[in-house]
Structure 1
Amino acid sequence: MTDDDAAPSATLLSRAAQQLAVLADRQRAALLGGVLRLEEPTQGCTVPALAADQGTDLRTTARHLAALEAAGLVTVAAHRVRPRVQVLEETAGALLAALPVTALLAADPALGRLFRHGRLTGLPVLARVDERERLAALLVQLLPADRALTEGEVNAALAEVTDDVASVRRFLVEENRLTRSAGRDYRRVTP
């Protein structure tokens, strides 16, 4: 796989960054919480009620609501505010779908239990040889097949799915999916 094969689009990354930046502001995060708490079914809540709930003036409330609306987290119409927090789930789902390992797991969904949010939760003790082989076959696909790789390049590729790159690199060597030459270069083994 190359970086371009499954890299999230600039638009997706920009949307995620915008949503996170908006929510990183405590007042905006509290305001969104207020919208969720004060929301009346089918009507949302009023801007004055939100301002009172937050202990802020209407101008400050409106400014923060504008940022939340620009990020797609609320809609404001006729002084009524409705939450749209499902966009956070949609953005998270889109980011997860864009991860290289997500596409690889589609071919072997049973291995999905070893991952959380696109990250390997740890190298479990896999009693069954076929599970070890399948996991190694999946992980090695994160590495380019056509050239020698430095340890740093292998580590960078594996860091996309794990914090323990040394253990995963060792696992791939033990499973004969990665070789190491005397010159300390690594090469992906394709059976």
Structure 2
Amino acid sequence: MSATAKSGGRATSAILSDASEILLALSNDRRLAIVNTVVTMNKESGAVRLAELARALELDVRSLSRDVMRLVEAGVLRREGDALIADIASLGRVGDSVVEMTALCQAIPPESPLRRYLAHGRIVDLPKRSEDLDVIARVLAGLLPEDQTLTEGEVNAILSHAGDDVARLRRLLADLGLVERSGSAEYRRPAAAPARAL
């Protein structure tokens, strides 16, 4: 079980809040330009003072300071005394945390060798070993509600959160008997058998 799953909804809410704050802070052309300039200036000469940043961007310090404060609050920039340093690694940390919240990452522990079939919490390739394929398929089947009839479109919508090739994923579930297909496009996941350990 992942750390996010262990820590519950409060941690999930905090992660989503952090991600939202960063995305909103960066959803402005001017703030993006500020971050880009701070990154460049950090590489060239280290920490940058607000006045230097204002000159580089040809902005007045007062209006610039509001945008800088928003970026500091979001954790994209940090202050060291009266100087600024870009913390781009914060974007990666929040991204990794959000990925861990995906259904597949919740079901497949970080230390599992099956993680190599995922990128950004989604299936990018299916295992060739039948044992691994069976485990991945059981995880996918777990995304579908038990004992409920779904249309092909509903199954596709659910599986689209797990990977791009939903037809292949849907066929895998049917081929392994993890979903029952009736008629031309109705699917049902029977009551689950005991899950195998990942």
SS in 1 for 2:78: strand
User: 1:38 maps to which residue?
Assistant: 41
d(CA) in 1 for partners of 2:80, 2:138: 52
Unaligned runs of 5+ in 1: none
Q: Which letter does structure 1 place at the counterpart of 2:71?
A: L
Q: CA-to-partner distance for each residue in 1:107-150, whole Å, 9 max, x for gaps?
A: 8822211110101114x4x4432232222122111112243333
Could you report, residue by residue, the CA deviation over 1:146-176 in whole angstroms, capped at 9, with x for unpaired residues? 4333333322221111122222111211122
**Stretch moving more, 98-107 or 167-176:** 98-107
Answer with 107-116 or 163-172: which moved more. Answer: 107-116
Among 62, 66, 82, the alignment partner of 1:63 is: 66
Q: Which residue of 1 aligns with 2:165?
A: 164
Q: Deviations over 1:74-130 (max 9, x none)?
A: 2346532122333212211221121111121118822211110101114x4x44322
Cα distance between partner residues in 2 of 1:47 and 1:73: 15
Q: CA RMSD in A?
A: 2.8
Cα deviations across residues 5-56 of structure 1 (Å, max 9, x unaligned)?
A: 888834432321221122232221221122222238xx72100111122222
Percent identity, aligned pairs only?
27
**Distance of 1:161 and 1:102 partners within structure 2:** 10
In the TM superposition, residue 182 of structure 1 has moved relative to its aligned partner by 2.8
Which runs of 5 or more structure 2 residues have no equivalent in the other structure? 194-198
Taking the aligned partners of 1:87 and 1:108, their CA distance within structure 2 comes to 23
Q: Distance in 2 between matches of 1:121 and 1:9?
A: 25
Give the TM-score, by structure 1 length.
Answer: 0.81
Residue number among 85, 95, 99 corresponding to 1:96 in the alignment = 99
Number of aligned residues: 184
- Residue pairs, 1:172-191, within 5 angstroms: 172-182=173-183, 184-189=185-190, 190-191=192-193
Map of 1:113 onto structure 2:
116
